[in-house]
A and B are shown apart, each in its own frame.
Chain A
Amino acid sequence: MPDFDYSLLLSGQYHDMLLSGLMLSIKLACVTLVCSLPLALFIALLRLSPVRPLQWLGFAYVESIRNIPLLAHMLFWYFAAPEFLPESLREWLYAGNIEAISAIVALTLYTAAFMSEDIRSGIRAIPIVQLEAGRALGFGYLESMRLVVLPQALRVTIAPLISQTLNLWKNTSIATVVGVAELMYQAGQVETATFRSLESFAFATSAYLSVSLLITGAAAWYQHRYVQAKSR
């Protein structure tokens, strides 16, 4: 095995490629996180709503998304979904960054399905009397959810949501298959251009690990700061 060439990673064109890949991966994860949280909350409320058909709708969403691999979602949103769009919108999409958009759509729908389950179990952990008390005070269903149940439920949900964020971070790598120039894609490009597979993969692996460590650290900090403090 050849010597490890640090200079490749420290400066120059390949360094820039890898770094821009890392930045795009982080951007993908952030945009997806922001979009999927409200969607996840909405799905969780659907599944807990008193109306049967809405419950089924939520159930169908979660199960159909969770039981299909993210890669298949990506392929669908990239290759198939634009077919359904009107001509003008499609042209506008193809002129822009269609790869990133379809990756974000797939990632958002996928992540929201998992997060909604965490939010749902968080809400179910709150005793039903809290909701009933809200209703007895004259709040409607949605208002008692928003003002009484959710503030308590979201606090228990933070830890599982952080671990879903970790999964989301790792899942951004799958955007490679539709050609989004994120970290994994750039690592592959650098490998092809230089045959320096050890260096480029070492960079990508340590970058993925570092961000994962940060996210795990956030979870540990939260656990330490809030959960333990409360039980003391």
Chain B
Amino acid sequence: MTTVELIDSYWVYFLVGQYPNGPLGGLALTLILASAALVLAMPLGVLFGLARLSPWRWLRWPVTALVFVVRGTPLLMVIFWAYFFLPSLTGFKTDQFTTMLIALVIFDAAYLSEIVRAGVQGLDRGQVEASRSLGFGYWRTMRWVVLPQALRTMLPSLVNQFVSTIKETSLGYIIGLTEISFIASQINTQVFTMPAQVYLILGLTYFVSCFGLSRFAFWLERRQTQRVSLTDNSKVT
């Protein structure tokens, strides 16, 4: 079997798994899982980030502790906890996709909360004061003044977090989720004689998706600093 034959006979399986005759898998599942995790983690991350900046101690401390614990343990540990304890907690058996999604959402929310916190803290203090003096309450200040500006500076970090999330989905392999690494291993077991080609193609696939996105983040960041320096210049002149 040559590399061309390998690609020719397995590319559909690699991209979508057994779909449409079976469950969706492969690259499509990886991307869907990563997007869903980030989208769901985003509001939770904003809440956590605001809670960590909150003036109320009983809100700030537990969230800080949670973020600290999640950041100090490997994602794999979070996945194991979710895998073994979600069924006994919820009462019904959760499938691998849900397990992985919940683990990723918790894990990403903890990391996003740091990004949100940095974004909000990086904002000029006068913005909050101005908004409060205009009569806005805490929530309306956050909603209309702080978050729109903070989110814009956070955008490159968010894209980078998406790249991390794509990489993190590969751990679904361990609980038997049919994402792209798992599919690649199955192909490797079936073909048996071409491990190098199979895993190089797997690496290349991750590389194309993640490198493209991280270049996009880099471009966003550059455009932002350019815009900031432009507005600074206009102030000077």
CB within 8 Å for A67 and B168 given contacts A72-B202, A209-B73: no
With known contacts A201-B81, A209-B73, A68–B174 Cβ distance under 8 A:
no
Q: Are A80 and B181 in contact (CB under 8 A)?
A: no
A197 with B76: CB separation less than 8 A: no
**Residues of chain A lying within 8 A (CB to CB) of residue B75:** 170
Which of B74, B163, B171, B199 touches A80 (beta carbons < 8 Å)?
B199
B72 at the A interface (CB under 8 A): yes
* B195 proximity list for chain A (CB < 8 A): 79-80, 83
Q: A187-B80, A201-B80 are in contact. Are A75 and B206 (CB under 8 A)?
A: no
The CB with the most chain A CB atoms within 10 A, among B74, B168, B195, is that of B74
List which B50-79 residues lie within 8 A (CB) of chain A. Answer: 69, 71-77
> B202: which A residues are within 8 A, CB to CB?
72, 75-76
Residues of A within 8 A of B206 (CB): 67-69, 72
Size category of the binding interface on chain B:
35 or more
- Closest A-chain residue to B188, C-beta based? A79
Total inter-chain residue pairs, C-beta < 8 Å: 111
User: Is B97 engaged at the interface, CB distance under 8 Å to the other chain?
Assistant: no
CB distance from A81 to the nearest CB of B (A): 8
Chain A residues whose C-beta falls within 8 Å of the C-beta of B224 in the assembled complex? none
- The answer to whether B77 and A204 touch across the interface, beta carbons within 8 angstroms, is yes
Measured CB to CB, the nearest residue on chain B to A166 is B72
Please tell me if the beta carbons of B76 and A176 are within 8 angstroms of each other in the complex: yes
The 10 closest A-B pairs by CB, nearest first: A212-B72, A67-B210, A69-B167, A173-B74, A69-B170, A80-B195, A80-B196, A170-B74, A76-B199, A71-B170
A residues lining the B interface (CB < 8 Å)? 1, 63-64, 66-73, 75-76, 79-81, 83-84, 166, 170-174, 176-177, 184, 187-188, 191, 197-198, 201, 204-205, 208-209, 212-213, 216
